[in-house]
Amino acid sequence: MHEYALLLASALSAGTPLALASLGLLINEKSGVVNLGAEGMMLMAAIAGFAVAVATGNQWLAFGAGAVVGSVLAAAIGVLVLWLGTNQYATGLAMSLFGAGLSAFLGMNDVGRNLAPFGHVHIPWLSDLPFFGAALFSHHLMVYVAMLLAWGIHVFLHRTRAGLVLRAVGESPESAHALGYPVRRIRLAALMVGGALCGIAGAYLSVIYTPMWVQGMTAGRGWIALALTTFATWRPARVLLGAYLFGGVTMLQFYFQGRGVQVPSQLLSMLPYLATIVVLALISRNPTWIRINMPASLGKVFRPTA
Amino acid sequence: MLQLEARPAPSRTMLVLSPLIALAATVLFGALMFAALGKNPLDGLALFFVEPLKGLYGLSELGLKATPLILCGLGLAACYRANVWNIGAEGQLLLGAIAASGVALQATDDTTRWILVPILVAGVLGGMLWAALVAVLRDRFHANEILTSLMLVYVAQNLLDYLVYGPWKDPEGYNFPQTALFAASTTLPKLIPDTRLNIGFAIALLAVAAMSLFMSRTLQGFRLVVGGQAADAARYAGFSARKSLWTVLLLSGGLSGLAGALEAVGPLGQLTPHVSPGYGFAAIIVAFVGRLNSIGIVFSGVLMAMFYIGGELAQSRLGLPNAMTGVFQGLLLFCLLAADTLVTHRVRITGRGMRHA
């Protein structure tokens, strides 16, 4: 493959877990809840998915396990922040710290275990096109699922009644409550769907992307996914774009190596994190612009009166 | 049925009790976890809650581990009080360790003990620099400090790795990623002979006293607290949110950097990629469990240090992974957040049948 085509292909592949998690977090935030637990949830799902993949050899069961673990942990966050009214930042942080510890603990016997790689789909004819054919049309199915999901979430949020209700709950929980919508249950559902997507993202990392289990293997992707929702100003298509951009930045180190550029690997490993900071600063520079699409009740505790 | 009912005023009793309730719940979960692993729960719990307290050596190790936790926790508590969500103490600690090591590597055995002063100052400045980046990004660009401070942790870790695998690697270190051992002149004076406890612990306690005074007795401390609790009132009173942001971040960065410096020249005596087993992250829990209160942080710092020692003991004696430490820490924070509901709410038991009776 040509080196640019290779860079594009690996950007899509590396961007997919970011896209999945960030789309999930977008749904959370549209309902008015910030989930800082993404990193811990992804780690827990990564080990659960890996263990299931090792035990069954079935990648779809692994994704299922990741989704279940993600949504169960999200439900735990939901009970704390929605019914007990705990601080959303602190609760999410607790999940990230807890998930990092517990996943390392549960995965102690899975370190160094090998997983047979799962095949990619080759879209007939298209993947045979010269130059970019293989780069675009010869990926794991989940890469295309993430793209479809972005479109689906956009349609759901802006073209369906349920999506309208979800956005209303995020904009003004008081009004939604007054209209008779169960705000807390809707938020819990949004958290669990978002958690499932974070879980699938975690399982993708350990089952498809690497594929292996290492302690702390998400390496901050949950946090980058959180930054991506802001970067995308809460729009699914921009989440996708941002995810592939960051996937590309992650992959630049291999590109540099391919070109024979001598830069220490640790300095190249900094790139995605530095890119996140720079992009976040550029996007946030104009507060009014951010606020246009930001759910108005984001991060605030809502207590229904009577 | 259990029902939550808002209290007219926060309960002072519960404010003190809820960390204890959270600790009890964590112990209970811990016991269940050991049982699930087929270990005797009492033996397991003893490793975490009894062994670290045994004897002078045990206690000195506890103080050693509590030092960075207290220092980082103090700074984070100031941030959280001012509603600045700095969660990058780990990165600020690493930069402190890097800066301090840069100075320590210049020392020779002929250097006077006073080299420790520039070493510790370098640590403080290194941590401040890393926190200042967060402050600039928030102040000038409105960038969310949670994400920027955390991203800087990964940048700091990569910078540390680069140095110890690259330019600072000890040429006589059998290719291990670590610097040469620092000269003897950089050794911190011991508090108790024949233990590893050094003046770092005393410095941490001094910092606790200074922070208590700053928060309760100075106008700037008052401004921070008001700004965090009622931003509108603070603006009305003419308190500068920018000044608060910079104050708490520089304070927090400086204390974390000091913690990093004390680790490098204290128990380690060289710079390695593993300067910190997550002290900066555990300090987030220290700050919350200590109720963002300086004295409370001493207790919660010691408690969290017990978890570190317990985790090491569980690893060596029961063959359980070190990650047990993180599980206990995370559990404690979860339980505390849940238990804090009792401060503002009371639980009422309502019988189902009673409504119809």
- Residue B352 pLDDT grade (very low, low, confident, very high; cuts 50, 70, 90): low
- Summary mean pLDDT of chain A: 88
Q: What's the confidence (pLDDT) of residue B218? A: 86
Q: What's the confidence (pLDDT) of residue B121? A: 97
What is the average pLDDT across B79-86? 92
Indicate yes or no: CB of B337 within 8 angstroms of CB of A80: yes
Q: What's the confidence (pLDDT) of residue A132? A: 66
Which one-letter DSSP state was computed for residue B293?
A: -
CB burial class (10 A; 0-12, 13-18, 19+) of residue B273? Answer: middle
Which one-letter DSSP state was computed for residue A264?
A: -
What is the average pLDDT across B186-195? 88
What is the average pLDDT across B127-152? 94
Q: What's the confidence (pLDDT) of residue A1? A: 57
- Summary mean pLDDT of chain B: 89
Indicate yes or no: CB of B137 within 8 angstroms of CB of A90: no
Measured from the Cβ of residue B250, the count of other Cβ atoms closer than 10 Å reads 18
- The predicted-structure confidence for B38-59, as pLDDT tens digits, reads as follows 888 888 888 888 888 888 888 9
Indicate yes or no: CB of A274 within 8 angstroms of CB of B151: yes
Measured from the Cβ of residue A302, the count of other Cβ atoms closer than 10 Å reads 19
C-beta separation of A36 from A203 below 8 A: no
Per mean pLDDT, which range of A50-59, A166-175, B337-346 is the poorest?
B337-346
- Residue A204 pLDDT grade (very low, low, confident, very high; cuts 50, 70, 90): very high
Closest CA–CA distance from residue A43 to any residue of chain B (Å): 13
Tell me which chain A residues have a C-beta less than 8 angstroms from the C-beta of B334: 80, 91, 94-95, 98
Closest CA–CA distance from residue A282 to any residue of chain B (Å): 7
Residue B64 CA to residue B152 CA, distance in Å, equals 26
- Residue A41 pLDDT grade (very low, low, confident, very high; cuts 50, 70, 90): very high
ipTM score of complex:
0.89
Contacts (Cβ under 8 Å, ≥6 apart) of B54 = none
What is the average pLDDT across A227-246? 91
Indicate yes or no: CB of A101 within 8 angstroms of CB of B142: no
Find which of B26, B81, B334 to mutate to test the A interface (most A CBs within 10 Å of its CB). Answer: B334
What is the average pLDDT across B15-29? 89
Beta strand B2-6 with B345-349: parallel, antiparallel or unpaired? antiparallel
What is the average pLDDT across A277-283? 90
pTM of the model: 0.91
Q: What's the confidence (pLDDT) of residue A130? A: 67
- The predicted-structure confidence for A82-117, as pLDDT tens digits, reads as follows 988 888 988 998 999 999 989 988 888 888 787 777
Instruction: Please give the share of chain B, as a percent, with pLDDT higher than 90.
Output: 55
Mapping DSSP onto H, E and C, the string for B151-197 reads: HHHHHHHHHHHHHHHCCCCCCCCCCCCCCCCCCHHHCCCECCCCCCC
Q: What's the confidence (pLDDT) of residue B354? A: 47
Residue count (chain B): 357
What is the average pLDDT across B304-313? 91
Residues 243-272 of A with CB under 8 A from B: 264, 266-267, 269-270
A162 and chain B in contact, CB less than 8 A: no
Q: Enumerate the β-bridge partners of residue B349.
A: B2
A233 and chain B in contact, CB less than 8 A: no
Q: Which of B143, B159, B323 sits opposite A281 (nearest CB)?
A: B143
A98-114 exposure pattern, b = at least 16 Cβ within 10 A, e = fewer: bbbbbbbbbbeebeeee
- Of B143 and B352, the structure prediction assigns the larger pLDDT to B143
Indicate yes or no: CB of A108 within 8 angstroms of CB of B323: yes
- Of B111 and A128, the structure prediction assigns the larger pLDDT to B111
The amino acid sitting at B84 is: V
Q: Identify the closest residue of chain A to B341 by CA–CA distance.
A: A84
The amino acid sitting at A159 is: R
Q: What's the confidence (pLDDT) of residue B225? A: 80
- Residue A224 pLDDT grade (very low, low, confident, very high; cuts 50, 70, 90): very high
Indicate yes or no: CB of B158 within 8 angstroms of CB of A282: no
Indicate yes or no: CB of B161 within 8 angstroms of CB of A102: no
Measured from the Cβ of residue A287, the count of other Cβ atoms closer than 10 Å reads 10
Indicate yes or no: CB of A266 within 8 angstroms of CB of B144: no
The amino acid sitting at B124 is: V
Q: What's the confidence (pLDDT) of residue B357? A: 38
Per mean pLDDT, which range of A300-304, B90-94, B175-179, B313-317 is the poorest?
A300-304
Mapping DSSP onto H, E and C, the string for A143-209 reads: HHHHHHHHHHHHHHHHHCHHHHHHHHHHHCHHHHHHCCCCHHHHHHHHHHHHHHHHHHHHHHHHHHH
DSSP code per residue over B294-311: HHHHHHHHHHHHHHHHHH
Q: Identify the closest residue of chain B to A85 by CA–CA distance.
A: B341
Residue B31 CA to residue A168 CA, distance in Å, equals 44
What is the average pLDDT across B107-129? 93
Indicate yes or no: CB of B324 within 8 angstroms of CB of A277: no
Indicate yes or no: CB of A280 within 8 angstroms of CB of B143: yes
What is the average pLDDT across B253-281? 95
Indicate yes or no: CB of B323 within 8 angstroms of CB of A84: no
Q: Which of A101, A103, A269 sits opposite B329 (nearest CB)?
A: A101
A280 and chain B in contact, CB less than 8 A: yes
Residue B191 CA to residue B60 CA, distance in Å, equals 9
Tell me which chain A residues have a C-beta less than 8 angstroms from the C-beta of B158: 266-267, 269-270, 273
A218-253 exposure pattern, b = at least 16 Cβ within 10 A, e = fewer: bbbbbbbbbbbbbbbebbbebbbbbbbbbbbbbbbb
Tell me which chain A residues have a C-beta less than 8 angstroms from the C-beta of B307: none
* pLDDT value at B355 more than 50: no
In angstroms, how far apart are the furthest CA atoms of chain B? 88
* pLDDT value at B213 more than 60: yes
A89 and chain B in contact, CB less than 8 A: yes
Indicate yes or no: CB of A269 within 8 angstroms of CB of B284: no
Q: Which of A36, A84, A273 sits opposite B146 (nearest CB)?
A: A36
Structure tokens at B321: 């992974």
In angstroms, how far apart are the furthest CA atoms of chain A? 67
**DSSP 3-state of B115:** helix
- Of A62 and A297, the structure prediction assigns the larger pLDDT to A62
What is the average pLDDT across B263-284? 93
What is the average pLDDT across A257-282? 86
Tell me which chain A residues have a C-beta less than 8 angstroms from the C-beta of B326: 97-98, 100-102, 104-105
* pLDDT value at A14 more than 80: yes
What is the average pLDDT across B258-280? 94
Q: How far apart are the first and last CA of chain B?
A: 15
Q: Which of B140, B144, B323 sits opposite A105 (nearest CB)?
A: B323
Residue B330 sits at the vertex; the CA angle it makes with A83 and B312, to the nearest 5 degrees, is 165
Q: Where are the alpha helices (DSSP H) in chain B?
A: 12-36, 41-49, 55-81, 89-104, 116-141, 145-165, 199-217, 219-229, 231-236, 241-263, 279-289, 294-318, 324-339, 341-344, 352-356
Structure tokens at A148: 């479809």
- The predicted-structure confidence for B153-167, as pLDDT tens digits, reads as follows 999 999 999 999 999
Residue A230 CA to residue B335 CA, distance in Å, equals 30
- Of B149 and A171, the structure prediction assigns the larger pLDDT to B149
- Residue B37 pLDDT grade (very low, low, confident, very high; cuts 50, 70, 90): confident
Tell me which chain B residues have a C-beta less than 8 angstroms from the C-beta of A215: 323
- Residue A65 pLDDT grade (very low, low, confident, very high; cuts 50, 70, 90): very high
Q: Which of A84, A226, A270 sits opposite B341 (nearest CB)?
A: A84
